[in-house]
Structure formats: structure tokens, C-alpha cells
Amino acid sequence: MQFRQIDDASKLKASSCRYCGCTDKTPCLDGMDEPCYWIEQPTRTRDGVCSNLKCVTVFRRDKKQAKRVAHKQARTSARAL
């Protein structure tokens, strides 16, 4: 029964890349015929990002955008004060 519990827990949230959906068990190729690795480890609440060139590119772009949004929000709240 304990074995089954562990199995269920791993099924609950598979660690996968948020962009291409590859997992620990099924890594994709990173564009240089190497299996990908995590550049951002998946957490229980958030999917990770793998080293696939496409995923890295989108991840960097997203990060930049998030930064810009945070900056804008900070400015807006500063003006409100």
C-alpha cells in the first residue's frame, strides 16, 4: 500500500517544462542532440523551464516582460502614495 501512495504522489504533479511539456522521464533534445536539463527547477506549484533553446528564448522574453510590468506597477503605486 505504501508503494501505491508514492506512485499516486508522483502522478499528482509531474515535473514538466512549462513551455514544451517535457518531463524528467521524457526530456526533449535541447537543439544540440543533448537531452535537456532544468534551467529552472519545477516546484510543486510551478512548472520548470528546460534547457531547450526554444524554451530558454521564451523564458528570457517572459522574464524581461515580467520585469517591465513590475517596474510599471512600482511607479504607479509610488504615484498613488
d(CA 42, CA 49): 7
Taking CB under 5 A as the binding criterion, the range among 9-17, 40-48, 58-66, 68-76 that sits at the site for Zn ion is 9-17
Residue 3 CB, nearest approach to Zn ion (Å):
28
All cell numbers assigned to 26: 521524457
User: Which is nearer to Zn ion, 4 or 25 (by Cβ)?
Assistant: 25
Q: What distance in Å separates the CA atoms of residue 22 and residue 52, rounded to the nearest whole number? A: 10
| Residues in contact with Zn ion by the rule CB under 5 A | 17, 19-20, 22, 28, 36, 50, 52, 55
